[in-house]
Amino acid sequence: MRPGTSPVDPREWLRPSADGSWPIETLLDDVPGVVFYVKDALGRYVSINDTLRQRCGARHKSEVLGRTAAEVFAGEPGRRFKEQDERTLQEGRQMRDVLELYVGPRGEPIWCLTHKVPVFSADGAVVGVAGVSRDVPPLSERREGYARVADALAFMQAHYAQPLRIRELAARAGVSGDSFERLVRRVCHVSPKQYLLRVRLDAAVRLLRESDRSVAEVAHDCGYSDHSAFSRKFREVSGITPQTYRQRLRSGELQL
C-alpha cells in the first residue's frame, strides 16, 4: 500500500458484485455437503451456493433466486422452510444445530445440521435470513474417541426399539453424562439424543421402503409407543409424514 492511501476494508468483499452475485458463493460453491443461502425480508433467495441449486433440481441459480422456499421446494418441506424463515424474521432468533432429514431423489435419507441466523441492518432491523446446512458424515471408526463410545453406539443401533436413557448409555461407556455428550459429538457430529433419533428414523425409513407394515407397527418397531408421536417427529425433521413418504415411493415420485 502506498503512503497516504486508505486501506480497503476487506468486508467490501462480502457485498454483492456488479452482476448481482455474491463473492462468498464462489467460496462455498465447491465445498461438498454444505448448503448456503441468504434470503431477503420476504423470504426470497438472494444468494445460494451450487449445492443448494443441485438439491432443488435447478439447472441455473437464476431459477431459484427471487423465489421463496415454498416456491422452490414442493409440498410440506417447502412449507416447513418457509415457517422457519418467518419465525427467524419475526422473532430475530437464531437456529443452531437443528437436525433435519432430507429425502433424496431415490427416497434415501440425507441428514443435515442446520444453522439459521437473522440478518440485521445498520439500525438493528431484521432485513433477511442467512443459513448453512451441512451433511452429517457417516460414522467413522477411525475418528478420535470412537473406541470409548463404540459399545454405547452399537447398543443404540441394536436396541433402538427399547426405551433408552442417555445417562445409562453414558454408564455403558464408563464416562459421565457430560463426557459422553462431548465424545459422541466428536465422533458422530451430533448429540447422543440426535444420534438416537437418527438411528430410529433411519430404521423407520427402511421399514417404510421395504415392508408392508403399518405406520403404527413401524412406530412401535422403532421405539415409539404412540404412533402419532412418531408421525409428528418424522414430519418435524423431514417435512413430510411417514404416510406421505410411503405414498411417494409407491407412486414412483421417489425412485427406489
For the segment 228-252, what is each residue's pLDDT rounded down to a tens digit? 999 999 999 988 899 999 998 888 7
For the segment 130-148, what is each residue's pLDDT rounded down to a tens digit? 999 999 987 777 777 889 9
**Cell matching residue 89:** 424474521
For the segment 121-134, what is each residue's pLDDT rounded down to a tens digit? 988 899 999 999 99
Domain 22-135 has CATH 3.30.450.20: yes
User: What is the DSSP secondary structure assignment for residue 4, as one 8-state letter?
Assistant: T
Topology, domain 146-188+190-251 = Arc Repressor Mutant, subunit A (1.10.10)
The domain locations on the chain are 22-135, 146-188+190-251
Q: Tell me, what's the pLDDT at 19?
A: 63
> Given the C-alpha cell 415392508, which residue does it identify?
211
**In which element (H, E) is residue 70 found?**
helix 69-72
146-188+190-251: same fold as 22-135?
A: no
Q: Count the residues in the chain.
A: 256
User: Are the C-beta atoms of 78 and 70 separated by less than 8 Å?
Assistant: yes
Q: Which amino acid makes up residue 172?
A: R
For the segment 84-102, what is each residue's pLDDT rounded down to a tens digit? 899 999 999 899 989 998 8
Q: Residue 123: exposed, middle, or buried by beta-carbon count in 10 A (0-12, 13-18, 19+)? A: exposed
pTM more than 0.85: no
Distance CA 83, CA 29 (A): 26
For the segment 191-220, what is each residue's pLDDT rounded down to a tens digit? 999 999 999 999 999 999 999 999 999 999
Q: Is 25 helix (H, G, I), strand (E, B) or coil?
A: helix
